[in-house]
A and B are shown apart, each in its own frame.
Chain A
């Protein structure tokens, strides 16, 4: 009897860390906005002080600009973005039938350029690509995130979750070690957030420019001294997809401002 009790106690001990560490329940999910200081919040809240809006303006101009061999603008197919693009970014990364895998909003813009505009793809993190994706995502500001709901995305969400839980780099840290287990604490004076991708592409004061969620993920990977995945790699897309599904229900804020 005593033996059984000892075994039961040992099992409980072994299981305890797994119970403590874990995913954030839906009602406890918080945007990075709630971790910011009042000045940075004010900067995001006012569209005339939010530098991300400069990129949205550029994107609006690109939306109606004819380009490529087909001499077509985005607006020639999609019309007024305020109607046609509303809610779209909240569903991305989305499953692409032709490719049989999820694509990000940036990749969708470049697929449109290749297939419908006969234009060269825009490089990752280039001003034009960020401006277009900021303009498109801005149309979904306030819309609740639903990315990952498509059942065909299930294996890719699972892959992203595995990557999120997997320790890597010389510091041997997984995303979950900070963003599930230690949010609301501090790392070198800066608040650790939940890592909810609610405002991408966003204006990061540290970058002095707009950047994508892939750039943010890569800088975290460099931070734990791991080899960062390439832009557009299946791993980064899967991670972005898992993060978006993890932020399910939070409203989009694009273009957000972050310190």
Chain B
């Protein structure tokens, strides 16, 4: 699925940087019914992780009350040049990944 990642392209060593991740997902709560009274099954993202050169720097659990197309913003310290890897895992075997690079001077 489409994802929009915002990681600064460059940072100085030791800088606190903001990372923003927006992904496409319907986040169906599992509490709604169709007009015929049939329950719409739950379909949400349940977990998000961000790894910085392999080491996990942020993890979030997601629940039915979270809006569609979840947007997460968090901070980390720029230590070395490399890659941020993002992973979203959800119901019905849903899995989506994205990555972004950073140059630390």
A208 to B71, CA, bound (A): 12
Contact A47–B68 (Cβ < 8 Å) = no
- The answer on a CB contact under 8 Å between B68 and A54 is no
B53 at the interface (CB under 8 A from A): no
Collect the chain A residues with CB atoms within 8 Å of residue B69's CB: 51, 54, 208
Give the residues from 1 to 36 in chain B that come closer than 8 angstroms, CB to CB, to chain A. 2-6, 20, 22-24, 26-27
Closest B residue by C-beta to A46: B6
In the complex, B77 has a CB within 8 A of chain A: no
Using known A-B contacts A49-B22, A51-B71, determine if residue A58 contacts B6 with beta carbons closer than 8 Å.
Answer: no
B contact residues around A54 at 8 Å (CB): 2-4, 22-24, 69
Please measure, in the bound complex, the distance between the C-alpha atom of A57 and the C-alpha atom of B24, giving whole angstroms.
10
| Shortest Cβ distance from B70 into A: residue | A51
Residues of B within 8 A of A46 (CB): 6
Inter-subunit contact B67/A208 (CB<8 Å): yes
Interface size of B by Cβ–Cβ distance < 8 Å?
A: 15
Q: A49: which B residues are within 8 A, CB to CB?
A: 4, 6, 20, 22, 71
A130, CB-defined interface residue at 8 Å? no
Q: Given A54-B22, A54-B24 in contact, is the A48-B4 Cβ separation under 8 Å?
A: yes
A47 touches B4 (CB 8 A): yes
Give residues 50-66 of A contacting B (CB, 8 Å): 51, 53-55, 57-58
Contacts of B4 in A (CB 8 A): 47-49, 53-54, 57
User: Is the beta-carbon distance between A48 and B5 smaller than 8 angstroms?
Assistant: yes
> A182 on the interface (CB 8 Å rule)?
no
Per-residue CB contact flags for chain A residues 234-257 toward chain B (1 = under 8 Å, else 0) read 000000000000000000000000
In the complex, per-residue mask of A46-90: 1 if CB is within 8 Å of any chain B CB, else 0: 111101011101100000000000000000000000000000000
Q: Which residues of A contact B (CB under 8 A)?
A: 46-49, 51, 53-55, 57-58, 205, 208-209
Chain B residues within 8 Å of A, Cβ to Cβ: 2-6, 20, 22-24, 26-27, 67-69, 71
29 example contacts (A-B, Cβ-Cβ < 8 A) are as follows A46-B6, A48-B4, A48-B6, A48-B20, A48-B22, A49-B4, A49-B6, A49-B20, A49-B22, A49-B71, A51-B24, A51-B68, A51-B69, A53-B4, A54-B2, A54-B3, A54-B22, A54-B23, A54-B24, A54-B69, A55-B2, A57-B4, A58-B24, A205-B67, A208-B26, A208-B27, A208-B67, A208-B68, A209-B26
